[in-house]
């Protein structure tokens, strides 16, 4: 089951992750939120926290 977070506006978002290959050939995992549950749903990784933009309620994942 994917990590879910409800923002200050009361909207629930689900965390998704995807492995992408950068132009230099390096593999990197990206994290993004969606309003619906998807097959690429994942848990919040250790050492990361969820930040919310107070102006629009947009969620981001931040290390630290």
Other beta carbons within 10 angstroms of residue 41's beta carbon come to 16
pLDDT for res 36: 95
State which residues form the domain around 38.
Answer: 4-63
Q: How far is CA 24 from CA 2, 5, 18, 28, in A?
A: 30, 33, 17, 11
Number of domains in the chain: 1
Given a cut of 90, whether residue 44 has pLDDT beyond it is: yes
What distance in Å separates the CA atoms of residue 50 and residue 63, rounded to the nearest whole number? 9
Can you give the pTM of this predicted structure?
Answer: 0.89
pLDDT for res 54: 93
> How does pLDDT run across 7-16, given as a tens digit for each residue?
999 999 999 9
pLDDT for res 27: 98
What distance in Å separates the CA atoms of residue 59 and residue 56, rounded to the nearest whole number? 9
């Amino acid at each position: 089951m994917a990590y879910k977070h409800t923002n200050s506006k009361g909207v629930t978002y689900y965390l998704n992750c995807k492995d992408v290959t950068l132009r230099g050939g390096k593999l990197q995992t990206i994290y993004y939120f969606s309003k619906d549950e998807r097959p690429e749903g994942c848990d919040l990784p250790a050492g990361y926290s969820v930040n919310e933009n107070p102006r629009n309620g947009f969620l981001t994942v931040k290390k630290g």
